[in-house]
Amino acid sequence: MSQNRTSLAANARAKAGKGAARAVRRTGNIPGVVYGDNKEPLLVSVSDKELRLALGKKGFFTQLCDLTIDGTKHLVLPRDVQLEPVYDRPEHVDFLRVSDKTIITVGVPLRVINEKASPGLIKGGVLNLIRHEVEVHCKATDIPVEFVADLTGLDVGQTIHIDALKLPEGVKPVLQGDFTVITIVAPSAMKSSDDEVAATAAVAADGAAAPAAGAAAPAAGAAKGAAPAAAAKGAAPAAKGAAPAAAPAKGGKK
């Protein structure tokens, strides 16, 4: 179910535009708007100090808020806070007016527990939090506080999928399928050790194959060596036989 609501006070403001917004900020307030629930938008201003305090609390954008505007309560959900780019000061705030029938899309934070009960982390594995929050469709009044992932028994190479988080009834992930949210991966040192083991096994396999190759080499060498020897022996008689044939020719000239 939804977490406890926060409360903020606001005042209605009559004018819109950059000039009117700057005038509101000069008074120490932040301009804003309340919209949704098929009603006319309301221009409001909120105390800068109170808004900063609310922003500092965990789950500000997933927590319902009772916004009191000139004495009238409105159930809203903070949807956006525009920040000044240099000093990160709030410049504008948007509130969505909701009811128990409003279906919204919201990101719910993910928290892990029992890290010490994870064999993978004990071995030196690295926790890879693929999703720090999970986007879901649900009623505005039933936004989960958080999703909890239990790491008990999780080893290197194992994962936790969305189905293991046991989402409350009526809360459905935006992303379809049983997607991964957490995995334990091997650290670089462990990967290097595995590579060394594989390399050692490869060297051993090469060493076993070497004697067989060496045994075949002498036989091949003997065959190669035999051919030149045979050729040399065959060439000698031919050379000796050629000399007598040349002798009569010389004698005939004389």
pLDDT band at 46 (very low <50, low <70, confident <90, very high): very high
Residue 238 has pLDDT above 50, yes or no: no
Cα→Cα distances 17→49, 92, 185, Å: 22, 12, 51
Topology (CATH level 3) of domain 104-190:
RNA Polymerase Alpha Subunit; Chain A, domain 2 (2.170.120)
Please give the pLDDT value at position 236. Answer: 44
Topology (CATH level 3) of domain 6-98:
Ribosomal Protein L25; Chain P (2.40.240)
Residue 252 has pLDDT above 60, yes or no: no
Q: 18-28, pLDDT tens digit by residue?
A: 999 999 999 99
The pTM of the whole model exceeds 0.95: no
* Domain boundaries for CATH 2.40.240.10 within the chain: 6-98
* Domain boundaries for CATH 2.170.120.20 within the chain: 104-190
Residue 245 has pLDDT above 80, yes or no: no
Residue 129 has pLDDT above 60, yes or no: yes
Please give the pLDDT value at position 209. Answer: 53
CA 172 and chain centroid, separation: 21
CA 36 and chain centroid, separation: 34
Pick from 53, 60, 71, 143: nearest CA to 95 = 60
Q: What is d(CA 129, CA 117) in angstroms, rounded to the nearest whole number?
A: 17
